[in-house]
Amino acid sequence: MKVGFIGLGRMGQAMAGRLIDAGHDLVVYNRTRSKADELEKKGAKVADSPAGACAGREVVITMLTDDAALDQMVSTALLGSLAKGAIHVPMGTHSVTALGELDKKHREAGHVLVAAPVLGRPDAAAAGQLGIVAAGPADAIEKLAPVFEPMGRRTFNAGTNPAGASAVKLANNMILGCAIEAMGEGFALTRKFDVDPAVFNDVLTDGLFAAPAYKVYGGIISKQAYDTVGFTTSLGLKDSNLMIAAGNVASVPLPSLNVYRDRLLSAVAHGNADKDWSIIAQEQAVASGLKD
């Protein structure tokens, strides 16, 4: 399939690499061109502009940081460069409001929007083990199966409203963030009684919480390995603000989210915006009177 890919951060590079390995005709674009070098060596064509990554493409994937970047990319390139009937697949995390507005713009332009945010860290992307939450026209999601399969272990169909995919992704991240916050509280409590964090981590992940989220983040917290960054604190804070906005749109109270968001905000205030978002466990430790 003829695919364009715009946005080559850590996640985007890994995802685009999977598409090349699967044999897709891939054109990539990134503002910093050097991030496309390895993909070019693997066989991707590198466009000189976003419009060049859209021209003649059946599908264009964007993996962008926030709503502002997405809106600018759509307004300056995609709306004027995509062919009629082409599918735009934003795979970053965006607000429910932005995706609702974007859906309207694409329909007016004769394009198709399938929102498909992903679940997983960069290592999962490199291994083709992302969860993909797709929402949009059923026939378009079906057409995208050969594109999604190399990147993900499973595609979850979230219905026909693209904003629904964002709601699922945000709710998932909220629950994960709250789990990390709860783990931070548990580690702080046991440390106050001189328990080796590795012992509590074993107890945690050998019993009721023997799941990847607890194993991955429990390991990071017990080792205080916050420099091993899969998802930054600043991105976590950005997403938490999107969660609050989604709750406001739907009149859904999210009390647990407020505690988690405050920890993220505190971590950013303490200069840890670029650390792994599990640094919120350190915020809990400090609040508990521990040195770190």
Q: What tokens were used for 136?
A: 């949009």
End-to-end Cα distance, the chain: 50
What does the alpha-carbon distance between residue 211 and residue 93 come to, in Å, rounded to a whole number?
Answer: 23
Collapsed DSSP state (helix, strand, coil) of residue 46: strand
Query: Side by side, which strands form the sheet with 45-46?
Result: 45-46, 25-29, 2-6, 59-62, 87-90, 112-113
Count of helices and strands (H, E) across the chain: 15, 9
What does the alpha-carbon distance between residue 275 and residue 230 come to, in Å, rounded to a whole number?
Answer: 9
What does the alpha-carbon distance between residue 49 and residue 145 come to, in Å, rounded to a whole number?
Answer: 27
State the catalytic residue, choosing from 169, 192, 223, 291: 169
Collapsed DSSP state (helix, strand, coil) of residue 15: helix
Has 169 been annotated as catalytic?
yes
Contacts for 177 with CB less than 8 Å, ≥ 6 apart: 236, 240, 257, 260, 264, 277, 280
Catalytic residues: 169
